[in-house]
């Protein structure tokens, strides 16, 4: 059975981000077991870092993927979609890695820039398209 999608680029990134969410969730759960912390962070800084890294991923990725899907539906060029999706992926990995390993650093800031760029570009493309402008 052949599957044809109107969102071929977005579907790739949805799959990648869904798979990335799994280990992020697991490392939080493992730390909860190690510290016997069933709710909140129990004052454990490692658990707190893992929770915030996971939470920030969960807060930014879904809306970014929705905006990406909407941009793809609106006819965004595949190059723009691939560039934005790769930037989002790189940004989330940089932010997560920096936050979990050290808490602060340039990787976290750069990761947020890479995350926010597609969050701006995709809706911008949609609004320009709705206004009758094409890139």
Helix 45-73 to helix 78-101 angle (10° resolution) is: 180
The pLDDT value recorded for residue 26 is: 96
pLDDT tens digits along 99-118: 888 877 888 899 999 999 99
More confident residue, 74 or 133: 74
Q: Which pTM value belongs to this model?
A: 0.88
Average pLDDT over all residues of the chain = 92
pLDDT digits (tens, 9 = 90+) for 21-64: 999 999 999 999 999 999 998 989 999 999 999 999 999 999 99
List % helix, strand, coil for the chain (3-state, nearest 5). 80, 0, 20
């Amino acid at each position: 059975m052949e599957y044809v999608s109107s969102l071929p680029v977005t579907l790739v990134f949805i799959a990648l981000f869904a798979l990335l969410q799994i280990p992020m969730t697991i490392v939080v759960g493992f730390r909860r077991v190690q510290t016997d912390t069933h709710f909140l962070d129990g004052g454990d800084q490692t658990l707190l870092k893992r929770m915030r890294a996971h939470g920030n991923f969960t807060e930014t990725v879904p809306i970014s993927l929705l905006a990406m899907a909407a941009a793809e539906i609106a006819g965004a060029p595949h190059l723009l979609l691939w560039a934005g999706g790769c930037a989002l992926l790189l940004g989330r990995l940089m932010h997560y890695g920096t936050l979990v390993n050290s808490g602060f650093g340039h990787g976290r800031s750069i990761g947020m820039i890479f995350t926010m760029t597609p969050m701006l570009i995709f809706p911008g493309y949609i609004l320009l398209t709705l206004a009758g402008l094409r890139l």
